[in-house]
Amino acid sequence: MSRITTYDPRPGWGADVNADHLWADLAARQHGAFSRAQARALGMTSRVLRRRVVTGRLSEARSGVLVVSGHPGSWVQSLWVAHLWAGERSAISHRAAGALWEFEAVETGFVEITTTRRLRDEGVIVHRKRLSDRDVTRIDGLPVTTPGRTLLDLADVYREGRVARAMNTALHLGKTTIQELEGVLARCGGQGVRGTSLLRQLVEAHDSDDVVSQTTFERRLGHILRGAGLPRPVPQYEVIDEGSFVARPDFAYPEAKLAIEADSYRFHGSKEAWRTDLARRSRLARAGWRVLHVTWADVRDRPGAIVDLVRRALDLDRPKRSS
């Protein structure tokens, strides 16, 4: 960008005009927020900043942090404000980071940061600890704890069920791995570090066989049903109702209008996928179908329960009437 050099008797005015463009660009990248230190580094003088605040072009969101008036407020803007207020070594963490990573079961709307500074401000949850550079990354420029470190922090503020669902999201979407989580535990966990015990328990209990191919699932389920003398279901059966496609359940008994969903590999990695699956189930119900849910753990550990469930659903235990 070319620098404005037009003479003006007021010292620093030309530099301020140039800085005006620079901080406006910076603020746009940071959802309308920037710090006084950032503005000064770009050449904006304190006098001009004061004038912008007095005239209403800027407003002070927190000590040392300004936002552009008229810029749409948002949760992400609040995260930027909190980070700029806490300083360069801070990072968005815990529930706020989990929501940014789109982990299932993590609530949105929290403004939560980790920093070494002693800070207190209403509306911001501050965790005081030192973060390693290995545990911080960026999402659209905003410093955020890595998925693995975020899960360790979530284990500090959530109970087992929520943490397990968040971890499963991270693993299934490829945002972390068991090996990375073991590394986070080795590096950051330990006696006195809250969340360590819960996350270690979940990592140790994780079974990679929970994510199996459709072929493996179908083969094992078919073997169980045939071994019990039950009919073998039709895989990937296309349900049509009144000439329109309804759904393609994982397994089906078309004559009985019975669908079997293999929930272990049909994983809901997002709210949108969850909504889509609910709509599909509703369409099946409207078409007169029943849906049974079977997991890989059922196939592996409880085959007898699957047989009983399918037998009752097919009504095979009822004696047939004699003609």
Contact yes or no for 48/36 (Cβ under 8 A):
no
Contact yes or no for 32/65 (Cβ under 8 A):
no
Half-sphere exposure of 227 (CA within 13 A, CB side): 11
Tell if the pTM clears 0.85, that is, is over it.
Answer: no
Most confident of 3-7, 221-225, 236-240: 236-240
The number of residues in the chain equals 323
Half-sphere exposure of 118 (CA within 13 A, CB side): 0
Cα–Cα dist 57/130, whole Å: 36
Give the confidence band of 265 by pLDDT, cuts at 50, 70, 90: very low
Query: Which one is predicted more confidently, 149 or 218?
Result: 149
Domain boundaries defined on the chain? 13-68, 75-206, 214-313
Give the confidence band of 259 by pLDDT, cuts at 50, 70, 90: very high
Strand partners, 9: none
**pLDDT for 22:** 78
Give the confidence band of 6 by pLDDT, cuts at 50, 70, 90: very low
Query: Which one is predicted more confidently, 258 or 211?
Result: 258
Compute φ and ψ for 35, nearest 5 degrees: -95, 160
How many other C-beta atoms can be found within 10 angstroms of the C-beta atom of residue 299?
21
Distance of CA 240 to the CA centre of its chain: 34
Task: Output the average pLDDT for the chain.
Answer: 84
**pLDDT for 278:** 77
How many other C-beta atoms can be found within 10 angstroms of the C-beta atom of residue 158?
22
Query: Which one is predicted more confidently, 269 or 5?
Result: 269
Q: Note the pLDDT tens digit of each residue in 193-216.
A: 889 999 998 888 775 545 455 666
**pLDDT for 208:** 54
- Calculate the CA dihedral of residues 241, 245, 251, 257 and round it to 10 degrees: -10
For the ranges 55-64, 187-196, 295-304, 312-321, the lowest mean pLDDT is seen at: 312-321
The DSSP secondary structure of 152-191, one letter per residue, reads HHHHHHS-HHHHHHHHHHHHHTTS--HHHHHHHHHHH--T
Fold designation for 214-313: Endonuclease; Chain A (3.40.960)
